[in-house]
A and B are shown apart, each in its own frame.
Chain A
Amino acid sequence: MDPETIDTEYDVIVLGTGITECILSGLLSVDGKKVLHIDKQDHYGGEAASVTLSQLYEKFKQNPISKEERESKFGKDRDWNVDLIPKFLMANGELTNILIHTDVTRYVDFKQVSGSYVFKQGKIYKVPANEIEAISSPLMGIFEKRRMKKFLEWISSYKEDDLSSHQGLDLDKNTMDEVYYKFGLGNSTKEFIGHAMALWTNDDYLQQPARPSFERILLYCQSVARYGKSPYLYPMYGLGELPQGFARLSAIYGGTYMLDTPIDEVLYKKDTGKFEGVKTKLGTFKAPLVIADPTYFPEKCKSTGQRVIRAICILNHPVPNTSNADSLQIIIPQSQLGRKSDIYVAIVSDAHNVCSKGHYLAIISTIIETDKPHIELEPAFKLLGPIEEKFMGIAELFEPREDGSKDSVYLSRSYDASSHFESMTDDVKDIYFRVTGHPLVLKQRQEQEKQ
């Protein structure tokens, strides 16, 4: 291959190296498509990158501190990989599945998140991860625990084709509130199940058919059962490893990568108005379709009406009342604060090689409800103890206006406020289907590099 020549014709052009785009690049390359993947920035990850401390200061602070001060406080810059979007993987979730089936697990190591905690009346409690923890948990009274047990038995024994296992409930007709009623569960248990297990960020689900809630609770239980401590996994060196891993998968299957390459112009076919190609400093590249994150086609996106505030906090101590956990999630259910949506806190530490020794990273996030969003986060800040440094940002969430069938421009959605990647993988599957015309079927990669 002559280093001077670059192919100009591709099957797919992908813009932005966020995890959604990188998974799609990887999958399409494995399918045999010729992929060109471009990012305007000089690093992988797009909106969901993991960045160094100096990049973080540059991004969020108008007057960054000096290198000397930063290093004396926080150590070497290269020890830091700070996620811009906080999320965990569900151990039994779809992203885990995709990682296994594409063999990207070869490039990324994972650790279990030590615990999930839920906020109740001013304190945080560990969400029980096994029967022993459940028996001793102060979250529920003894009679409520029995009712809860019956409810969970119903969940785990439910079989679609065995009517007797349904116990008279119809997941598509009965609302989740009706299901709770049937098992006699009280308000505080409903809140626990809906927010700490089904991971709904608000209470809209109560009046909707029970199936999605059922599936979320089942996913939660299966994920906890898989490794034991919590339902969550987290990659060593931060979430930014995930897009890098899928980009490598794509490259190994022939995908071409260009970072630090802004798009000068998008070309459309004169007759049909469909996507034709992009102009960049490295030349003009053509493909019948493009996949991109919303920042590349702002005019083709609309606001979802939701804005998310995220506060990245550096601590030099573990979070109080968590038995010095090296990683955890805290859920503050909306009703505890008289809000409409939950506040999440995701905490990781030097155990994951995301910060220098002795430090912890806590990212607080929620959907904004007032015109003083930083004050909305106050109850979460209080749980963390002294905070060394704080970086706050607000992101408006965007979604595509159209499905791409008219102009062959297929756009991903912004990363939402949920605590895991399930909505992101839904988006991946949806785009994959629209692009290829068939649903994503995960096949195991062939064993090809055995010694």
Chain B
Amino acid sequence: MNTSVTSIKLVLLGEAAVGKSSIVLRFVSNDFAENKEPTIGAAFLTQRVTINEHTVKFEIWDTAGQERFASLAPMYYRNAQAALVVYDVTKPQSFIKARHWVKELHEQASKDIIIALVGNKIDMLQEGGERKVAREEGEKLAEEKGLLFFETSAKTGENVNDVFLGIGEKVPLKKEEEQNNANNERESNSKRVDLNAANNGSSTNNACSC
């Protein structure tokens, strides 16, 4: 296939237990695990989506719980091009926290970051759970701050893919000129060293040329 691939770093934010990891699990492997343990062991997950001949590769960073006690490192936001700010539609406190994360992103992340506000766990409404955050409240916040807005269920999968497709559509498509710039950028990136690659190569090379 002759499609160009844009790689973007996407970060997850939101109160503990709102379903950040579940949304990603649903998106990446179309799976859902009831009573999922807090995130352990994955550096980040990747998933590709193709939108009109163009492939967007999401590199998804989980907070790994570091958001709980104000301990998210600046590294987390660094070069993030997209963010999901997730709350639980049955927990008003999580919506207050979502406001906080949107503010934090505008302060810490790059200016043109694409943010999607996501009200999760709408499946609980059908199962007798009470909605505590009105759809209009979410829409209002999204409109004020220029965010994408979705209500999802990681459990049933409802709307989950739309979140990522929505972000994918907003990612600036690279025109030819920009593609060239990107190539230049890659050139300057090539000055960065790949530690892993070198590990396989010259580790036995003791030659000293000084």
Contacts and interface: CB of A to CB of B under 8 A. Distances in A.
A105 B43 contact: no
A347 B172 CA distance: 36
B193 A106 contact: no
A326 to B, nearest CB: 9
Given A128-B210, A448-B41, A252 B64 contact: yes
Contacts of B203: 92
Interface string B26-56: 0000000000001111111111100000000
Contacts of A248: 64, 66, 73, 75-76
Given A134-B210, A224-B208, A256-B68, A105 B195 contact: yes
A225 B208 contact: yes
- Range for the number of chain A residues in contact with chain B: 35 or more
Contacts of A44: 73
Contact of A129 (B39, B191, B195, B209): B209
Chain A interface, >50% SS class: mixed
A449 interface: yes
Contacts of B69: 256-259, 261, 282
Contacts of A258: 69, 71
A221 B66 contact: no
A252 B41 contact: yes
A414 B8 CA distance: 39
Interface string A181-216: 000000000000000010000000000000000000
Interface in B75-130: 75-76, 78
Given A256-B68, A451-B48, A105 B196 contact: yes
Nearest to B15: A3
A109 B192 CA distance: 7
B7 to A, nearest CB: 12
A251 B16 CA distance: 14
B209 A112 contact: no
A112 B41 contact: no
B2 interface: no
Chain B interface, >50% SS class: loop
A449 B46 contact: yes
Given A105-B195, A106-B44, A448-B41, A244 B73 contact: yes
Given A221-B210, A449-B45, A110 B38 contact: no
Contacts of B17: 1-3
Interface residues of B, number: 43
Nearest to B63: A251
Contact of B192 (A111, A197, A257): A111
A384 interface: no
A131 B43 contact: no
Interface string A1-20: 11100000000000000000
A112 B191 contact: yes
A108 B194 CA distance: 10
Nearest to A326: B191
A1 B39 CA distance: 10
Contact of B206 (A156, A261, A449, A451): A156
B29 to A, nearest CB: 10
Contacts of B202: 225-226
Contacts of A42: 70
Given A3-B16, A221-B206, A257-B65, 16 more contacts: A2-B16, A106-B44, A110-B193, A111-B192, A148-B210, A155-B208, A221-B207, A233-B193, A236-B192, A237-B78, A251-B64, A251-B65, A256-B69, A257-B71, A449-B43, A449-B44
22 contacts: A92-B203, A107-B75, A111-B193, A129-B209, A134-B209, A148-B210, A222-B205, A224-B208, A225-B207, A225-B209, A227-B198, A245-B75, A248-B66, A251-B63, A252-B43, A252-B62, A253-B40, A254-B65, A259-B69, A451-B45, A451-B47, A451-B48
Interface of B: 15-17, 38-48, 62-66, 68-71, 73-76, 78, 191-193, 195-196, 198-199, 202-203, 205-210
